[in-house]
Structure 1
Amino acid sequence: MSRNSIEGKVVLIAGGAKNLGGLLAREFAQSGAKAVAIHYNSDATKAAAEETVAAIKAAGAEAVAFQADLTSAAAMEKLFTDAVAAVGRPDIAINTVGMVVKKPMAEVTEEVFDQSCAVNVKSAFFFLKEAGKHLNDNGKVCTIVTSLLGAYTPFYAAYEGLKAPVEHFTRAASKELGERGISVTAIGPGPMDTPFFYPAEEKEAVAYHKTAAALSPFSKTGLTDIEDIAPWITFMVSDGWWMTGQTILVNGGYTTK
């Protein structure tokens, strides 16, 4: 079994029921993964999780789904230990979990800030912690952040500001886990054509985002499509393993650092 292929590997995806996570889960199974464990957050996503599990099994891989609110260290530890018990120690761990907040700073309440911090910062930190504890040697870890990390813009302080720590977590984890051959990266998509994007944006903002990337005219939506991001993640957790400790903005020329 090559360290650089998907074939024969065990994969864990937080937020793996639908959208980008669901696409990755299906594609890993089709690429010969031994098993794919997916996480989903709420009952509203249960049906999508069951569909994804069925698709994984149809592709010939083992599949299991776990429901959890991952904003506590205990819940994150349980996700990893349950996944290990069900399908074995993961070789690949991907965290797609996130919460978009678009508000002027003056309108961000303490409750909203704390919730965003729990989802975007705390869960990301403890995902990396548990990945480091439970991944096989020569494993791969990737966290989804945002291309707003390269933007100079108002209204996203409680989102991009609370994704920014993941860059530092990624660098630290890559140094700490490198002696075991584990690579750690983060991918920052541009605004993606998913149900998470539209409720956070006004009509005018949606129109702007659909034209903001250099390659927008060549996208089917003008936005970043999940099919544009999946190959990058797949590469980073397979042949691209030598890239570690990096946050890469993948957005068709929407923002850059």
Structure 2
Amino acid sequence: MHTHTGRTAIVTGGSRGIGREIALRLAAQGCDVVVNYHGREDLAEAVVRAVEARGRRAIAVRGDVADEAEAEALFRAALDAFGRIDVVVSNAGIMKNVPIADGALADFDAIMRTNARGAFIVLSKAGNHLGEGGRIIALSSSVIARSTPGYGPYIASKAAVEGLVRVMANELRGRGICVNAVAPGPVGTELFLEGKSAEQIAALARMAPLERLGTPADIASIVAFLAGPEGAWVNAQVVRVNGGFA
């Protein structure tokens, strides 16, 4: 059922993994989609073609979400192409294992730049460009609740995202805009699986009571719910989608 027909969604980091699935799910429900990417144009264009195969319009826009000028250009491209912005999904992010005692400030800065600064800029632009009844959804992580060694900078960046979401929901009072976060548990994307042994992956899958890794579709379905009319009474929340992982 097309619940978003006539609406436009921006999905940052939309060329692969969870972002790709979110873009396709929103398209299947009637959204035109702006697929933001930073590196792989070929993957972004493949998502555009997949959206168009679902009967919706799409464009791919390269841009570093942590660069304010490039983020503004992304939103301007969406308005130029489709005339409106209704849904913004802040999904772009990076993850790296960085033990705090190592003092790897360059890695810390890189993670915070993309995950925290990038989310701040995207949320700021969304607040300026969304109309009445818009939806803003930022991706966090359920690893926040587990304090997993090596994830300090990543957890710090995602804790910042959750704080921004709750504050922004209050700042947008009176405009009918819902601002929420979705916090996945372990999801079997290429990025997540990279560098892990079969034994490590199996152990991670067993951590949740449902005893499997999540899929991008598991996450996209919740994002689509929050983006649509059914999610109109959900605001300033962090939805943990993790099979009981945390």
| TM-score of Structure 1 vs Structure 2, range by shorter chain | over 0.9
Deviates more, 1:100-109 or 1:84-93: 100-109
Aligned residue in 2 for 1:166: 161
1:16-74 deviation per Cα after TM superposition (whole angstroms, max 9, x unaligned): 122222122222222222x21110111xx211111111121222211111011222222
Alpha-carbon RMSD: 1.6
- Equivalent residue letter for 2:165: T
Match among 79, 87, 105 for residue 84 of structure 1: 79
The one of 220, 235, 238 equivalent to 2:225 is 235
Give 1:147-226 correspondences, 5 Å limit.
147-199=142-194, 201=196, 204-216=199-211, 222-226=212-216
Alignment coverage as a number of residue pairs:
244
- Secondary structure at 1:254's aligned position in 2? coil
What displacement does 1:205 show?
3.5
Q: Secondary structure at the match of 2:239?
A: strand
Moved over 4 A (4+): 200-204
2:2 is the counterpart of 1:11: no
CA distance in 2, matches of 1:207, 1:56: 33
Residue 177 of structure 1 aligns with an amino acid whose one-letter code is L
TM-score by length of 1: 0.90
- How far residue 197 of structure 1 moved from its aligned partner, in angstroms, is 0.7
Question: Which residues of structure 1 form unaligned runs of 5+?
Answer: 217-221
1:19 alignment partner AA: G
Aligned to 1:142: 137
Q: State the Cα distance separating 1:171 from its structure 2 match.
A: 0.8
State TM-score, norm by structure 2.
0.94
Task: Give identity over the alignment, percent.
Answer: 32
1 CA distance for matches of 2:85 and 2:43?
A: 22
CA contact (8 A) 2:182 2:223 kept: yes
Residue 39 of structure 1 pairs with residue 71 of structure 2: no
Q: State how far apart, in whole Å, the 1-side matches of 2:164 and 2:42 are.
A: 33
What is the SS of the residue equivalent to 2:127? helix
Please say if residues 75 and 125 of structure 2, whose CA atoms lie closer than 8 Å, have aligned partners that are also in contact: yes
Q: Which runs of 5+ in 2 are unaligned?
A: none
> What do the CA deviations read for 1:82-124 (whole angstroms, capped 9, x no partner)?
2111222211110111111213212341111110010110000
Q: Which moved more, 1:203-212 or 1:68-77?
A: 203-212
**C-alpha deviation, 1:200, in angstroms:** 5.7
